[in-house]
Amino acid sequence: MPGERDPLPALLREFERLHPGITVQSEPLPWTADVQHQFFVINLEGRSSGFDVLMLDIIWVPEFARAGWILDLSDRFDAAARAEHFPSTIDAARLDQRVWAVPWVMNVGLLYYRRDLLERHGFAPPKSYEELARQALVVRGAGDVRDGFLWQGKQYEGLVVNVLESMWALGTDVLGPDGALLPDAARAANALAERRRFITAGVSPALVTAADEEVSRREFGAGRAAFLRNWPYGLALFDAPGSPVRGRVDIAPLPGGGALGGAHLAINAATPHPAAAWDLVRFLTRPEAQRRIADAVGLHPTRPALFESPALLAIFRGARARPVTPWYQTLSATLQPELSAAITGVKPPARALDDARHRLHYLLAR
Amino acid sequence: MIARGERRFGFLLAAPALIVLAGVTLYPVAHVLVLSLQRRVPIFGIADWVGAANYGFLARDPAFWNAARVTLTFVVASVALELVLGVAVALALQRQHRWRAVAVALLLLPWCLPGVVTARTFEWIYHPTGILARAAAGLVGAGSTNWLGDPALALGAVVAADVWRTMPFVALLCYARLLGIPAEVYEAATVDGAGGIATVRAITLPLLAPVLLMVALFRTLDALRAFDLMFVLTGGGPAATTETLAVFAYRSLFQTLQLGYGAAVSTVVFVLVGATAALYLAAAGRAEARR
């Protein structure tokens, strides 16, 4: 957990008071996904029992489960307990019909829009990406803002997330329900082509091809754009005192649902203390603990019951998991350069996806 | 002539060092070679013998050829610029009399910075609404330039950052060599009526050549394994236009944990680097023999 208001130490001390004889140590890891992933791979592949409970990026759970590094929690984490969390968070923790981690904090892609500008033009928040594009062009054309729709198009995980969201809006995905790669390649190419069109038609500025979350968040926060796709962390920043867009930003669900992000807690398969580790997982994922984390650092709970804002609840309910597969890292790393080639106009979208599929067939030995 | 016993004793003395060297170089190289003949994803317990299949796929993999092309472009462009600018700066330093120590210290600064810090700094410089983009917009009057997001510009932007960072290395080594050229040589040239440019061509550059060759070797090998700048600045993008072989190998090895394919990529890079080094050393040998 980042920052000075880290609620974790207090939570751990409380757990120790409730469980005499147990002391819990937290080990902070670098805040970069790549480095965290490497830390876990090295330690878990070496069967290290140096830690009992792990905080996992949601996309790693199936990979770690398949590698045999984390305990199957299906029996401990029963159906009634699972039902208290958003279904998407449970789906993301599944492999072979078993559940391997407990949802802890949650993120979801959402649409920020400038309420003042949309009202001026008599628009309601867009329900589809075409509508979003039309509105962005009108608002831009009127000279109200420099840019229309900002998103993350740099060659990295964020680009995969954004393109997935476009694919979902068109009713397709990178992996089909049966695990087939690009089950509807034509529709997937259309989704990718739409992102390219956003740039060529002036819906989105060229800078999105180098933009990550922070670049796009700052541009929108400076009042230079009408729409932004980002995670919920921007809300507090846009409404902070001194923000140029304070009181003028509202949120809406993304047309096809936003990507699910966040972290789960899992138990190291090599732990000598599985029972105590499970107690800790249960303690940290309780409603009270999740609420305290939300209040302190703005990471959202994975339990619908803890949401007060109906608008936010609706957006979180619409969250969709990225392809749930042990091979997600390979999938994403292979897609990233190809998606980037498509949105920058270097390759036609259909060929970019075809090239990615070709590589994946070899790397996944299909 | 050395007696045989003495030679054997010499080998004996060198043996510990040779064994350590073999342990840290030959063993990993052999291991990587073996890995490259497998489909190997250790975390999933996958270890299938595939023979030369990884190399076969690599030969047809457009992503690999793209990385090879990017690496070659990066090496040629950055090393050429660094050599030309480095020599120019060294010559300027040689002629400068006041504040020379300050100039050298300033020159050293970019070279001292860790690569990641340099990359982060350039990230701000190249930011779509950053200083450079605004300046370019002011000059040309066009919209802001998307340095790191435009496939036509990104590699150039990374090369520029690399030149800024490593040109001082070239300049300093050349400058050190220039200090070693006796003043009499220049005086003789002046007496013979040689002008400034003629002196540089006939005296300075030939005397610099051995140093330049060494510097070029170092820089080329460094550039061949370039990683940090592009990894931080662009992540290899956009459209993999800044994805060097090192970044490509990193993706295969550490991000996707496809150790077999990653090992095949590494082996090719290893051969490439080895061949380049051999070429340079042969050139250096010829230059040595001519003198």
Report the candidate in A247, A246, A243, A214 with the shortest Cα–Cα distance to residue A230.
A214
Report the candidate in A80, A82, A119, A79 with the shortest Cα–Cα distance to residue A103.
A82
Contact between residue A320 and residue A260 where contact means Cβ atoms under 8 Å apart:
yes
DSSP state of B69: H
Q: Cα distance from A155 to chain B (closest Cα, Å)?
A: 5
Considering the domain boundaries, does residue A177 fall inside one?
yes
Same-domain status, A90 and A176 = no
Considering the domain boundaries, does residue A291 fall inside one?
yes
Same-domain status, A87 and A132 = no
A228: helix, coil or strand?
A: strand
Cα separation, A10 vs B146, whole angstroms: 45
pLDDT of residue B66 exceeding 60: yes
Give the ipTM. 0.83
- Interval B231-261: pLDDT, tens: 989 989 899 999 999 999 998 888 888 899 9
Considering the domain boundaries, does residue A100 fall inside one?
yes
**Owning domain of residue A147:** 110-257
Instruction: Determine which of A65-74, B10-19, B174-183, B194-203 has the lowest per-residue pLDDT on average.
Output: B194-203
Considering the domain boundaries, does residue A353 fall inside one?
no
Two structure tokens written together for A13 = 């001390």
Out of A236, A257, A278, a domain closes at A257
Same-domain status, A155 and A45 = no
pLDDT of residue A49 exceeding 60: yes
Considering the domain boundaries, does residue A324 fall inside one?
no
Q: Mark yes or no for CB contact A154/B127 under 8 Å.
A: no
- Interval A286-327: pLDDT, tens: 999 999 999 888 789 999 999 999 999 999 999 999 999 999
Q: Mark yes or no for CB contact B239/A211 under 8 Å.
A: no
Q: Cα distance from A71 to chain B (closest Cα, Å)?
A: 15
Q: How many CB atoms lie within 10 A of CB A172?
A: 21
- In a mutational test of the A interface, the residue from B124, B125, B150 whose CB has the highest number of chain A CBs within 10 Å is B150
Element (H, E) at A226: strand A225-230
For the sheet with A225-230, list strands across it.
Answer: A147-150, A225-230, A110-114, A249-252
At A140, phi and psi to the nearest 5? -65, -45
Question: What residues 218-247 of chain A have any CB closer than 8 A to a CB of chain B?
Answer: 219
Contact between residue A342 and residue A198 where contact means Cβ atoms under 8 Å apart:
no
Q: Mark yes or no for CB contact B63/A355 under 8 Å.
A: yes
| Cα A363 → chain centroid | 25
Same-domain status, A98 and A124 = no
Return the percentage of chain A with pLDDT > 70, whole number: 99
Which one of A41, A156, A359 has the shortest CB-CB distance to B235? A156
In terms of pTM, does the model score above 0.95?
no
Out of A299, A317, A335, a domain closes at A317
Report the candidate in B117, B156, B127 with the shortest Cα–Cα distance to residue B241.
B156
| Mean pLDDT over each residue of chain A, to the nearest integer | 94
Q: Give the pLDDT of residue A107.
A: 95
Same-domain status, A185 and A86 = no
Cα separation, B82 vs B70, whole angstroms: 18
Same-domain status, A182 and A313 = no
Question: What residues 161-220 of chain A have any CB closer than 8 A to a CB of chain B?
Answer: 205-211, 215, 219
- Interval B71-129: pLDDT, tens: 999 999 999 999 999 999 999 998 888 888 898 899 889 988 988 899 999 988 888 77
Considering the domain boundaries, does residue A335 fall inside one?
no
Same-domain status, A128 and A224 = yes
Q: How many residues are given for chain B?
A: 291
Considering the domain boundaries, does residue A348 fall inside one?
no
At residue A56 the predicted structure's pLDDT band, cuts being 50, 70 and 90, is: very high
Question: What is the DSSP pairing of strand A260-267 with strand A102-108?
Answer: antiparallel
A346 touching B, CB under 8 A? yes
DSSP-assigned letters across all residues of A294-356: HHHH-PBPS-GGG---HHHHHHHHT-B-----TTHHHHHHHHHHHHHHHHTTSS-HHHHHHHH
Out of A257, A272, A302, a domain closes at A257
For helices B53-60 and B62-95, angle between their N-to-C axes, nearest 10 degrees: 70
Report the candidate in A218, A302, A210, A295 with the shortest Cα–Cα distance to residue A260.
A302
Considering the domain boundaries, does residue A359 fall inside one?
no
Under 8 Å CB pairs connecting chains A and B tally to 115
Same-domain status, A65 and A115 = no
Q: How many residues are given for chain A?
A: 366
Domain CATH for A293? 3.40.190.10
Two structure tokens written together for B108 = 């050293």
At A252, phi and psi to the nearest 5? -145, 160
Same-domain status, A181 and A250 = yes
Q: Mark yes or no for CB contact B57/A362 under 8 Å.
A: yes
At residue A98 the predicted structure's pLDDT band, cuts being 50, 70 and 90, is: very high
Same-domain status, A122 and A231 = yes
Residues of A in contact with B63 (CB under 8 A): 337, 355, 359
Same-domain status, A153 and A190 = yes
Counting the structural domains of chain A, the total is 2
Same-domain status, A126 and A205 = yes
